[in-house]
Structure formats: C-alpha cells, structure tokens
Copies of this chain bind each other. A is one copy, B any other.
Amino acid sequence: VPEFRLHCFADSGAAYKAALMLELCAARWEPVFVDYFNGATRTPEFRALNEMGEAPVLEHGDRRLSQSGVILDYLSSALSRFGAASADERREILRWMFWDNHKLTSYTATARYLLKVQDTDAADPGALAFLSRRARAALAILDTHLAARTWVASDKPTIADLSCAGYLFYDGELPYDLPADAPNVARWRDRIAALPGWKHPYDLMPGHPSRGPR
C-alpha cells in the first residue's frame, strides 16, 4: 500500500520537485494524475483539494499539503533526507527555495508555458521575450552561485537543489540552453541526475503521451 499519494502530471516541474524527492528517498508513493490540460485544476473537486488550483498536492494519512516548498520541507522531516543539519542551514535552504519560486521557477515555467502550450498564440510576443529575459537573469544568478560550489545550500544535496532543478530537465522546452547559457548549472544538473533513483519528469509522472510511470 502506498504511504504517499502525489497529485501530479508529467509537464509540471513544480510537481516534479516533490515526485523526485519521493523517488530519491525510495518512499512508497503513487502518482494521481491531474489532467491539467483538460481543466482539472479548475474544477470544484480540485479546488476543494487545493484552493490555489495548483499541482502538486501531497496526501499523507489525513494530511494534505500543497506548494512544492512546503511539501519538500515536510518530506525532508518525514523521510529524514535532504534536510538541514542546523537552523542556519535550514534558513539557507529556505532562502534558495523562496528565490527559486519567485524568480527561477516562476519566470522559467511561465516562459515555457508560452513556448510549449501557447506557441500558436501570437498575442503575447512581448510577454515571452520579457519572461525569457527574466528567466535568463535568474539562471545567471544560480550559475554564478554554483561556480565554486557542488550543491546549492549545503555541502550535500538538499531540498533546495531539488527545488531549483525542478524545470531544468525539460530540455528543448526552456527559454535558455544548457550547458551553453549556464555551464555550472549544467554540471550541477548532471550531479542531480546521477543521484541513485533519479528519473526524468516524463518517466516519473503520468501524462506524457509516450512515457510515464509503469
């Protein structure tokens, strides 16, 4: 019997952050498919699950949690992996997770949405250009940070790494190129992909037309 249920879908890098955490920890979990592209997150049923109308949502016993940052923080305690070794380190992890949500993931995910989903919509050409510039500026901050570091917030991988990397495995769908635009980020991404149990988002979560969990 799965211990955790994660409402997710293959194209959600936010959900991937939580799914990857569960998988790297070898947790007993099952994905619950969120049919986002057919409006699932706008239904009253989903809004009752999460009024923010977003994946991921984690169910653990009677507990329901949303926001990938909260889920990662919760799982790092529940599973005793990828968490902080001290209060100062906890703040440093949280700092990069807030930055990721506000800057790197926000601009990257929104630009990717316009590139991949709304690519036939010519009404917002300025939006894509603007968001892409912001996404590249955020990526540059992370690349500079990783120039002399192995991991984002500690000498070990933590939930800050899983958060910041959430969208970076969607090669060819992003508003920048790796490794060309950020070689340090690319090498760090390779280190994450080398962690035992790592899977690509399309292999870990349901909804990709030809891939997905078995």
A-to-B contact residues, CB < 8 Å? 51-53, 65-70, 73-74, 91, 94-95, 97-99, 101-103, 105-106, 110, 123-131, 134, 141, 144-145
* A92 to B106 Cα, complex, angstroms: 21
* A127 to B52 Cα, complex, angstroms: 23
Contact A141 B70 (CB under 8 A): no
Closest 6 CB pairs of A and B: A126-B126, A127-B130, A124-B126, A67-B98, A101-B102, A69-B98
* A209 to B53 Cα, complex, angstroms: 40
List, in ascending order, chain B residues with CB within 8 A of A69's CB: 94, 98
CB < 8 Å neighbour of A70 from B65, B74, B95, B129? B95
Copies of this protein in the complex: 2
A101-B102, A102-B102, A141-B53 given; A95·B124 CB < 8 A: no
List, in ascending order, chain B residues with CB within 8 A of A125's CB: 126
Contact A52 B99 (CB under 8 A): yes
- A-B contacts, 17 listed (Cβ < 8 Å): A51-B141, A51-B145, A53-B141, A65-B95, A66-B95, A67-B94, A67-B102, A73-B91, A73-B94, A98-B101, A101-B101, A102-B106, A106-B106, A124-B126, A124-B129, A125-B126, A127-B127
Contact B52 A65 (CB under 8 A): no
* A134 to B130 Cα, complex, angstroms: 14
Nearest-neighbor residue (CB-CB) of A47 within chain B: B144
Minimum CB–CB distance for A2 against chain B, Å: 21
